[in-house]
Structure 1
Amino acid sequence: MHKIKLIIRGGFDGQTPVTQAPIFRLVEGWSEAELESPAGILPAGLWGQVPAGDPYLLHACLLTVNPLDPQTMIEVRTGAPTHTRAQYTPSADNLRLTLVRPSDEIRVVTSPQGIVKLELLVESIGGVNELGSRLYEWSDAANKARDTGVRVVRFAANGAIPGWLGTLHVIYDSVNAGNITLPPRVIVPLDAVLTVTRKGPGIPTLLAAAGDSFAGGVIGQAIQRSGFIMNNGEQWTWVAD
């Protein structure tokens, strides 16, 4: 397992190739280097830090000062002619493993900010017991289970909903009214769906996080019976019965 940490001040622009190898040093078990800005496209070989000539499985996550926004992404693409092979948001909690070939490029995009750390875990798909293949199967199964699974959360008082994937059902069952706060909209995927159902006599009110709102600029929605909510990329979209 190769552990690589790239640090950049100002963020990744997704456009500028990094052709000059940075200086790496071992820091707490990581091969760490600071990139000079601008930077946005990394060679698949990562300047000799990964197995030479071998495809490998890559797990990537971004550590940022500000919350990840919709434009943040990592993209694995072929060399010329360029075609995108994988594209996703490399958040700190993702389980995504991506196959990278020696001829590929890794494109990284973040919003401008003080400092960004890109952590890369690299595992060759060959080697003893084909550890990389087993990791891929585990990650793929876990990812599918989380993306397509349906979860149910029950509230009986004030509370907050964490970021979610797939479908999340919220049931509010209380004799008292209560407030349920939504997570920051930027951490909720556009295909995620939330349903909220009032079961008891108490009426719950959904509250948008600071800086967010429902369509029309409303920051709170009372749930009389049930409703659906989704992230449309700019505001929360709301439908109630």
Structure 2
Amino acid sequence: MNKIKLITRGGFDGQTPVTEKPVFKLVEGWNEAELTAPAGVLPAGLWGQVPAGDPYMLHACILTTQPLDPQTFLEVRTGAPTQIRAQYTPSADNTRLTLVRPSDELRVFTPPQALVKLELLIESIGGVNELGSRLREWSEAVFRARDTGVRVARFTASAALPGWLGTLHVIYDSVNVGTITLPTRSIVPLDAVLTVTRKGPGMPTLHAAAGDLFAGGAIAQAIQRSGIIMNNGEQWTWVAD
């Protein structure tokens, strides 16, 4: 992540391009520079302070000596022909992330202030160990964690199921009726699947945990032959024959 802090005395005017690279120095973990001339339009590449050629996610924050004026804004816009892609007030409590492309410009306006600091947190989407590659690694790790294959559990008496991932086949093989209690629905992922099959003469009945329901408001479902159960985010969805 790149941490850039730009300081101006008098405020950003929203119209003057900053073409000359300011002098940066490392201050408390920030690449900090003071803009000595009028400033209002910044190149997306920020004078080589961000990875060249890669789009990036931007979090911006403006700090002022006086309360932030409601006219203050940061604008992300394309190069010629100019089109506004995003415009918002980057206040101290701002949580917005904005995609910035290498060809974009950052336009900043603040009414006159004695001192204005623009803090930019930048995360490149491309490159090794940057946002794009980390998101890919995270996605693949989640997939591997859930790609547990198909598991089979066999019961000959009443039992309580733990939470599961992927697909779980339950076979109830008993001469006696029995109860299979489902786990709390909130711990079961929405893409998890449970099948329950009756093999012996004893009929199993699925019971929802306290506070949970099957679609239609039932708290229990008897399995005559087989059934499929999934978490739909609000209730247990089930199909049985």
1:45 is matched with: 45
1:13 is matched with: 13
**Map 1:90-101 → 2, pairs under 5 A:** 90-101=90-101
Q: Is the 8 A contact 2:123 2:130 kept in 1?
A: no
TM-score by length of 1: 0.54
Distance (Å, rounded) in 1 between the aligned partners of 2:7 and 2:119: 9
2:80 is matched with: 80
Helix, strand or coil at the partner of 2:117: strand
1:234 is matched with: none
Q: Is the 8 A contact 2:127 2:133 kept in 1?
A: no
TM-score by length of 2: 0.54
CA RMSD of aligned residues (A): 1.6
Distance (Å, rounded) in 1 between the aligned partners of 2:130 and 2:122: 13
Helix, strand or coil at the partner of 1:106: strand
Q: Is the 8 A contact 1:60 1:119 kept in 2?
A: yes
C-alpha distance after superposition, 1:144-173 (max 9, x if no partner) = xxxxxxxxxxxxxxxxxxxxxxxxxxxxxx
Query: Where do 5+ consecutive residues of structure 2 fail to align?
Result: 136-241
Q: Which protein shows a greater Rg?
A: 2
**Does the C-alpha gap of structure 1 residues 16 and 121 become closer, same or farther in structure 2, counting only changes over 3 Å?**
same
Helix, strand or coil at the partner of 1:102: coil
Q: What amino acid sits opposite 1:93 in the alignment? A: D
C-alpha distance after superposition, 1:162-213 (max 9, x if no partner) = xxxxxxxxxxxxxxxxxxxxxxxxxxxxxxxxxxxxxxxxxxxxxxxxxxxx
Over the matched positions of the two proteins, sequence identity in percent amounts to 81
Q: Does 1:105 align with 2:105?
A: yes
**Map 1:1-241 → 2, pairs under 5 A:** 1-128=1-128, 131=131
C-alpha distance after superposition, 1:45-89 (max 9, x if no partner) = 000000001000000000101111221000000000000000000
C-alpha distance after superposition, 1:87-138 (max 9, x if no partner) = 0000011111100000000000001010000000000112456636989xxx
Helix, strand or coil at the partner of 1:47: helix
Distance (Å, rounded) in 1 between the aligned partners of 2:134 and 2:62: 24
| Runs of 4+ with deviation above 6 angstroms | none
Kindly state the Cα deviation for residue 37 of structure 1 after the two structures are TM-superposed: 3.1
Query: Where do 5+ consecutive residues of structure 1 fail to align?
Result: 136-241
Q: What amino acid sits opposite 1:84 in the alignment? A: I
**Does the C-alpha gap of structure 1 residues 109 and 33 become closer, same or farther in structure 2, counting only changes over 3 Å?**
same
**Does the C-alpha gap of structure 1 residues 129 and 36 become closer, same or farther in structure 2, counting only changes over 3 Å?**
closer
